Chains A and B, each alone.
Chain A
Amino acid sequence: MNIVIIGGGPAGSEAAYRLAGEGYTVDLVEKENSIGGNLNNWHQLFPDRKSAAGLVKELQQRLNHPGITLHIDAEAREIAESAPGKFAVKLSNKTVLHGSAVLLATGYKVFDAKRKEEYGYGIYKRVITSAELENLFTNRALATLYGEAPKRIGFIHCVGSRDEKICNYHCSKLCCVTAVKQAIEVREMLPEVEIFCFYMDMRMFGPGYEEMYREAQERYDIKFIRGRLSEAAENIHGQVVVKVEDTLVGKPLRMTLDLMVLMVGMEAADGSGKLAGSVQVPLYPNGFIRPADPHTGTNLTARPGIFTAGSCTSPMNLTDTLTDARSAAWQIKKWLTGSDKHA
């Protein structure tokens, strides 16, 4: 039996590998020209500082399985139930793939920081996103970014997350720990730089995260200030002047930064809603796909035969994404063998 997996990020790749290992044939659809999804934009992973490129390579190697057919540069446009229990997935290149089950692994998209106008992304030259910082790490370009190494860097947490103003109420979960990881990486590259993290809450939920946060303060001299940025402006030297309220001290604070990094959150991928809508799978108000049940029906959807894996249902770290993908593979197997027909 064939399974169509939409999305060649970590979740889709892991599920493809697991399902192929169970003897199924898999069509893995990826809209970009290579697999890995957003992972391709990362340098190192938390908490163990594993190379992101290394993990992508590992995932890629696993796809060299005779049961897996990879369709790159192909975007899934629509899913239709061609016959009871049979699905047809139309691709942008006119191909139609057929499967007994469809796994949605469409992932997430990074919040467009331009929407937080008051932070000046796209206008002030020294305002970049966390994703762009990863690229600077990869290319080792941070020290020479503006001709000389920055002397003071600020990380702004929760950009596009937990923000009523831009209608994103959800927490993206990963930005806190990413900021801690990135701040440590910056410290290693630039021992003299002053580093500040401006946060609302530090949500260090994963194994090793809290320890990393403590280490960031004690060993790496990274300063954490509780308070949300109200606005940023550019001074005559091109530096970024920020206004923040230090909510622990209860005082406003103004600071000049040589580089401001926006910890951009996660939003539902553009394709998720459209694909889910084509098979009447409901979404959460924030656009992520709603599972059949948040406790007992994860990976399942309201539509039998349509499954989910990874961060298309909610912000998720890589550990959870890969675990979720394995769980999805197991759910699909149960569905196809008839041992667990969900309604």
Chain B
Amino acid sequence: MELTGKERIWQEYQKEIAGDNYFYARSCIRQTFFPGSEWAYLDILRNKLDKRVTEDPKHTTCTGIGYHTDVVPAETTMTVVARHFALMTEAGCENITPSCITSFGLYTEILDTWEHHPEIEEKIREFLWKATKREFKKPANLAHTSDIIYKFRNEIAALAPHRLRDVHTGRPLRGVDHIGCHYAKMFPAKGIGGAEFPAVLSGLIQAWGGESVDYPERRHCCGFGFRNYLVMANRGFSVANSKKKFESMQAYEPDFIVANCPGCAMFLDKWQYTLSEMEGVTYGQHGFGIPVFTYEELTALVLGYDPWEIGLQMHQVAVEPFLDKIGIAYDPEAKYLNSRGESMGRPACPTYMKVIK
């Protein structure tokens, strides 16, 4: 593979990312699946990188899940998103940074729709005013939160006590990046590196000393697609997509997977358990699965956050082999203790996939 060819494409797909003063739009599901991710992101931005990030508890879902399953009409979705923009405007911000890939895709799609059809924007402004008496300015800058981490990847590398290297051998760790479909597949120009050879996460891996794995099914959807999991009968399709990816990446012996979509990270983690129970297969080394991290978790790890503080005990695939490789100290006894030091109980062991109890 000619890396210079990829770098040429990366140079063509760079975008303006604001340097400070962000309005943060949380994800509906990221906090449920990976409860430490958004906290870690905010802590890193505010306390490590010294950035101003504003939140508003009145912020709601963007309705993306409902929109993409044809449950919520486009006008409703646009009005809800217009309300988000109004909250941003009221907070005195003009840079919006959604945590969710679907929200990012939806915001991008709506802004593009309004650009080409100003009459629709006008109609939505009217809907929002009638429903809430709010007005809004369109964001001056829209970036996904993984874009923000990408922008500051070198600053983070300078602060990080850990590198993505095997401390025992010095070998760069091999990382598979998985980009949410709604990040750049609809609007390639809005993604770092475009849709075909995205660099937003592989850029992090490389900046922090790891090696990015490019494998045949790199662009393939993880199978999260809303209809695939909302309709129970379709879930086999979702599993099949993830399976296709695992089988394709397995030959490269990746040390970890990093994703920027809440759903992708969740399914790539959980489906490894499902597949092990269904077929008795595991894709990682020595009978373990391949650890899956959100980009916030990976960032927090290289910056030295406690693995249990950022919620890694909620992962299905054991993260300890990765922590051991990278040289992060952790207390095995504290894994399932809550903030008061009480036991939360331990999950049952899978039949085939190895975990560390």
Contact = CB atoms under 8 A, between A and B. Distances in A.
B184 to A, nearest CB: 11
B216 A235 contact: yes
B1 A125 contact: yes
Interface string A119-162: 01111110000000000000000000000000000000000000
Given A117-B194, A117-B197, A118-B196, A123 B219 contact: no
A114 B195 CA distance: 14
Given A117-B9, A236-B251, A236-B252, A125 B2 contact: yes
A121 B197 CA distance: 12
The A interface, classified by DSSP as helix, strand, loop or mixed, is loop
A125 B4 CA distance: 12
The CB with the most chain B CB atoms within 10 A, among A114, A117, A120, A125, is that of: A117
Interface string B207-222: 0000000111111000
Interface string B86-125: 0000000000000000000000000000000000000000
Nearest to B6: A123
A123 B216 contact: no
A132 to B, nearest CB: 14
B8 interface: yes
B345 interface: no
Contact of A233 (B5, B6, B217): B217
Contact of A114 (B8, B216, B251): B8
Interface in A91-133: 114, 117-118, 120-125
Contacts of B219: 231, 233
Closest 10 CB pairs of A and B: A123-B5, A122-B5, A233-B216, A117-B196, A241-B216, A236-B251, A118-B196, A235-B216, A123-B2, A234-B1
Nearest to B7: A123
Interface in A222-273: 231, 233-236, 238, 241
A123 B251 contact: no
23 contacts: A114-B5, A114-B8, A117-B194, A117-B195, A117-B196, A122-B2, A122-B5, A122-B8, A123-B5, A123-B9, A123-B197, A124-B2, A125-B1, A125-B2, A233-B215, A234-B1, A234-B214, A234-B216, A235-B215, A235-B216, A235-B251, A236-B215, A241-B216
The CB with the most chain A CB atoms within 10 A, among B5, B6, B9, B216, is that of: B216
B215 A123 contact: no
B11 to A, nearest CB: 12
Interface of B: 1-2, 5-6, 8-9, 194-197, 214-219, 251-252
Contacts of B252: 236
Given A114-B8, A117-B9, A233-B216, A123 B1 contact: yes
The CB with the most chain B CB atoms within 10 A, among A118, A125, A236, is that of: A236
Given A231-B196, A231-B219, 7 more contacts: A117-B195, A117-B196, A123-B5, A233-B218, A234-B1, A236-B215, A236-B251
A241 B251 CA distance: 15
A148 to B, nearest CB: 19
Contacts of A124: 1-2
B84 to A, nearest CB: 31
Contacts of A114: 5, 8
Contacts of A123: 1-2, 5-6, 9, 197
A104 B197 CA distance: 40
The CB with the most chain A CB atoms within 10 A, among B5, B6, B195, B252, is that of: B5
Contacts of B216: 233-235, 241
Nearest to A254: B216
Contacts of A236: 215, 251-252
The CB with the most chain B CB atoms within 10 A, among A121, A122, A233, A241, is that of: A233
Contacts of A118: 196
Contacts of B9: 117, 123
A123 B118 CA distance: 40
Contacts of A122: 2, 5, 8
